[in-house]
Structures are given as structure tokens and as C-alpha cells.
Amino acid sequence: MDIQKETSKIKSMIEEDKKSVKTIQELNELKVKYMGKKGIISELNSKIKDVPNEEKKTFGMKVNEVRTLFNDFYDAKKEEIENKVLNEKLEKERIDITMPSKKIKRGSKHPMTRIEEKFEDLFLSMGYTIYDGPEIESDENCFQKLNLPKGHAARDAQDTFYLKDEFENYLLRSQTSTAQVRAMEENKDKGPLRIVCPGKVYRRDEDATHSHQFMQIEGLVIDENVSMADLKGTLELFCKAILGEKTKVRFRPSYFPFTEPSVEVDVTCFKCGGKGCALCKQTGWIEVLGAGMVHPNVLEMSGYDSKKYQGFAFGTGIDRFAMFKYGITDIRTIYGNDIRFLTQFDRKDDE
């Protein structure tokens, strides 16, 4: 038997068969035809036993040649057909990616809470403790111990809600400054103190910029050597963190009964950056905080030695910052809770 001739014949058969294969099924039929138990190549290979020993090697090589030829063809063709089938299938699965998405809808955090948390985080990072005082307060804590005795003219600025049948002894706190008193009284060792107190406050007042309920945050630092300069540095850091690095801070002398000296704190207008616009009444500045050095009477009334300790305190409205930050012009929107208002705050803040 001329193995050369046999394999050439098989080779040309394979070449011929190759042309007509279209499907996996046809391919597999070819595999049976050549590689099956009774297949052409298998049949040829079984004749090796009749080949003289010295030719067995050549015979085997030749058979392997056609076997490899077929297998290579088979693998290549199989991949080709499978790819084609897959691509056809994928093409059929084509979708319209502009259709509406299926969302897992997250809720939203109230803008006031967002600002409150921002403030808290900032002061926490500076080593302050968050102090949470009650909303019902005594007149003593809210006013008297802040150097505002009954009948004091400065009480006019805060028209207060007193509770029924209490002869003006209990009230809804009109300022978070009252937290100063509580924190100092509760601090048994009358030593250094560093707190901020955010929370609701109440005043008899209601219009587009005033709500009878609003939120303030009060800060208090007591130590042996804190000064107005420390207060200014702290507030500069605070205002920059909240309103942006370019914000400038200005101290203006003012008067609060519980601080001496007292200042009002202006920041460069967030809208115009200080150039002057309608929001800042062309001044370039907006008043945002009241602050000062804790009045020695206030320290003494809460048991602190005013000869040893000094302190600074500051307070600001959270509503104001929320309104500035998000461009809300009517405070009633904040407390209106329209779902179309609330759901706007469903994302991370821009910084």
C-alpha cells in the first residue's frame, strides 16, 4: 500500500469536503466520516498492523499528518461557526439603550440637616463636642445667666414664647446660646470646655425671612488663654470651610449682653464675591454670625473663675446658611416640606 498516495487522496477529500460545511451538524458529520470508529482516517490507521515494521514509523507519521490536518480544520471551523451563530444571536438581542432606566430610588436628606451635619463634622474635626440641650428652657438659663436680667432692653430683640401658667419662668429657647450656660453648669470641674450646640429655637416672628421656628448653632470655647484673635481664626476657618476658600471674614464691634467685647461677623457676599450686588445691598458683605468673648459675669454665674478662665462664643443661624447655600429665598419653603422640594436634595453636595 502506498501510504503517500492514500494520504494524498484523503487530503484532497478533506479539502473538497471543507467547502460545503456550513453548520455544526455538518461539521460533526464530517468528523464521524474521518475520525469516527469506522471513519476514513481511523480505518487507514488500523491498517498499520499490516505494514512492515521498518515502514511503520513513516506510516504513522503520514496518518498523523492527515489527522492533524482534519483536527485543525475542525477546530478552526467550529470556532468560526460558533462565532457566527453567537454574533447572530447577539444581534437579535440588540436593545434600545435610550429606554428609561430601572432605578433603585434613594430618598433625600433635608437641606437643614445637611448644613447641620456639615457644621457638626467641621467642629468635631477641631475637637469640639456636640452638645444637645433641651428646647424647653428656664428663663434663668436662656436669659438671666446670660447677663440678660428680666426687663433688660436687649430682650426686645427676641420675642419669646413663654409656657402657660409659668409666669414667664419657662419658655421655648429663643437662642442656642442657652447651651453655653448648661454646658458650663454641667462641667463639674469648671475647666476647659469646647462645645457646639445645634438645634431648634423659637421666636414670635413670621415672614419671608423669619420663621417662628428656626435653627441655630452655638459654639463655646473656654480655656485659660483664648482670645479674640483665636475666635477670629476659628471663624475664618469655619467660614472658609462652609462658604469656600476665597471667603473673607470681617469683625465689626457690636453688643451682646453675654459677650464683652462683642462682634458681628460679616463674610464676603457669596453671590457676588464682594463686588456688591442686591443680596449684600451693594456692600460686598453679609452678616452671618454674632460672637465675642464670654462676659465675666456669665462665667461667674455658671461657677467659673473669670480671673483664671476666658472664653469665646459664637452663634449663627443654620437656616441662613441653608438658604445661601442652596439659593432658597423664602424661609417658608424650608418648612413647607413639598415633596418636590425635598427630593431635590437627593445627591451629594457640591463642595
Q: How many residues interact with other proteins (rule CB under 8 A)? A: 86
Instruction: Tell me the per-residue interface mask from 246 to 285 with other proteins, x by CB under 8 A, - otherwise.
Output: ---xxxxxxx-x--xxxx----------------------
Closer CB to other proteins, residue 44 or residue 133? 133
Stretch that binds other proteins, among 20-28, 45-53, 87-95, 339-347 (CB under 8 A): 339-347
Chain residues 29-58 in contact with other proteins, contact rule CB under 8 A? none
Q: Is 150 in the site for other proteins (CB under 8 A)?
A: yes
In contact, 171 and 137? CB cutoff 8 Å:
yes
CA atoms within 13 A on the CB side of 158: 25
**Nearest-approach distance from CB 279 to other proteins, in angstroms:** 17
Q: How far is the CB of 192 from other proteins (least distance, A)?
A: 7
Binding mask 66-105 for other proteins (x = CB under 8 A): ------------------------------------xxxx
Q: Is 206 in the site for other proteins (CB under 8 A)?
A: yes
For other proteins, give the closer residue by CB, 90 or 339: 339
Rule CB under 8 A: say whether 153 interacts with other proteins.
yes
Residue type, 123: F
Chain centre distance of CA 155: 41
Site for other proteins in 157-196 (CB under 8 A): 157, 161-166, 168, 170, 172, 192, 194
Q: Which helix (H) or strand (E) covers residue 285, if one does? A: strand 285-294
Cα 149 from Cα 258, distance rounded (Å): 11
Q: Which of residues 280-319 bind other proteins (CB under 8 A)?
A: 293, 295-296, 310
Among 76, 237, 244, 246, binds other proteins (CB under 8 A): 237
**Closest alpha carbon to 68 in 41, 36, 33, 37:** 41
For 134, other C-beta atoms within 10 Å of its C-beta total: 13
Alpha-carbon span 31 to 40, nearest angstrom: 10
Ramachandran class of 195: left when φ > 0, alpha when ψ lies in -120 to 50, beta otherwise: beta
Q: Does 244 bind other proteins (CB under 8 A)?
A: no
| Residue from 340, 347, 350, 351 in contact with other proteins (CB under 8 A) | 340
Residue 295 to residue 256: CA distance in whole angstroms: 9
For every residue of 290-316, DSSP letters joined together read EEEEEPHHHHHHTT--TTT-EEEEEEE
